[in-house]
Structure 1
Amino acid sequence: MLSTWIVVRVDGCHFHRFCEDNGFQKPNDEQALKLMNSCAVSLLEMFKDIIFAYGMSDEYSEIVSAVVSLFSSMYVMKWKEFFPEKEFKEPPYFDGQSVCYPSSEILRDYLAWRQVDCHINNQYNTCFWLLVKSGKSRTEAQSSLKGTQTQAKNELLAKFGIDYNALPIIFRMGSSVFRDRDEPTGNDRVVVEHCNIIETSFWKEHPRILDEEESLLTILRPHSNKMLRLS
């Protein structure tokens, strides 16, 4: 169906415990995020009718059973590539759910909301773990941050000598995985970028992502347009 997009959300199960058991850095572990991105790249390479992935934290958004199965398998296979010195304390596993969005505009609104959520969560978590590492208990840190707005959190970060906008962009904006055309060869390649997908400029620079006519010519199945999200 034209202008209809299926989003499948792949989400880590009990990942708070998994991250603690495997000693992931707080508030963000860049290697863990890159591992998730690498899994998403493999999915786009394997399933040609998946056109876009957005990732933050332990979640990605694609069609459910085959995607979740392959994502879990790739996560295990690629673990040593990103954590060569670590063994699993327990096996990772993921679940998935799919949602249908009836227009490209609604799909873009959904992705914009996810990127806003990425910023909100990252700013909160950065403040939270700074407070914990400074000696507060987790309960005290939560109490200190309860009800605070963006400005108050930025002021707290400044007290610790941190400029939020100087933090790695992968933490602040998440990861976008999509196919881009290599101009010299004319071939598609899967790329990972950390960019602003809220603004229209991204979609104008990459019109092929939501180009339904091109998608139809490429995959010949208009009902199979899919998006992937990692969150």
Structure 2
Amino acid sequence: MIADYFCWRQEDSHRNSLSAYCYWTLRNNGFNAKQTTETIERMSQSDKNELLFRYGINYNDLPSLQKHGIGIFNKEMIRQGYNTVTQKTVDYVRNELFMENELMIREEYRMFLRRFLMNFRSYGKP
């Protein structure tokens, strides 16, 4: 299912983000590339969080977009315009590019994806 793929990608991005923070924290503190890679490749997620905490970084306090990424999609928006023929204000629907910087996680993200995909299937567009 498509939602499963996007959920997996979000989790993978989260793991990669945590590893990257650890990698560059160690590199910036005197470790060479080989030492850094060997150190973090054997660590669990909780060990990586502890490593960052020892260097004064609380991973949980970092901005969501750095941990979970962002979402970019088309969204139907109702706008107002002026019809010069009828001389009246009219509402119209416009698809606009929307960027979500605070993606939800886990089951809430999965439900968001399901609603989004169901809407896409029903109308042929998001």
User: Do the structures match in fold with TM over 0.5?
Assistant: yes
Higher-helix-fraction structure: 2
Residue number in structure 2 paired with 1:5: none
Shift of 1:124: 0.4
Q: Any gaps of 5 or more consecutive residues in structure 2?
A: 81-92
CA offset digits 1:34-83 (Å, max 9, x no partner) = xxxxxxxxxxxxxxxxxxxxxxxxxxxxxxxxxxxxxxxxxxxxxxxxxx
* 2:82 aligned with 1:173: no
* 2:25 aligned with 1:130: yes
**d(CA) in 2 for partners of 1:110, 1:197:** 14
SS at match of 2:15: helix
Residue number in structure 2 paired with 1:113: 8
- Residue identity matched to 1:136: F
Shift of 1:203: 3.9
**Percent identical:** 25
Q: Is the 1:197–1:203 contact (alpha carbons within 8 Å) kept by the matching residues of 2?
A: no
Shift of 1:188: 2.3
Q: Given the superposition, is the C-alpha separation of residues 107 and 208 from structure 1 closer, same or farther in structure 2, using an over 3 Å criterion?
A: closer
Pairs aligned (count): 112
Shift of 1:175: 1.7
RMSD of aligned Cα (Å): 2.5
The structure that has the greater radius of gyration is 2
Q: TM-score, normalised by structure 2?
A: 0.76
Q: TM-score, normalised by structure 1?
A: 0.43
Instruction: Please show how residues 57-76 of structure 1 align to structure 2 within 5 Å.
Output: none
- Residue identity matched to 1:173: H
Higher relative contact order (CA 8 A, sep 6+): 1
Alignment counterpart, residue 213 of structure 1, candidates 104, 108, 122: 122
Instruction: Please show how residues 191-230 of structure 1 align to structure 2 within 5 Å.
Output: 191-194=98-101, 195-196=103-104, 198-200=106-108, 203-204=111-112, 207-211=115-119, 212-215=121-124
Q: Is the 1:178–1:209 contact (alpha carbons within 8 Å) kept by the matching residues of 2?
A: no
- Residue identity matched to 1:163: N
Shift of 1:144: 1.3
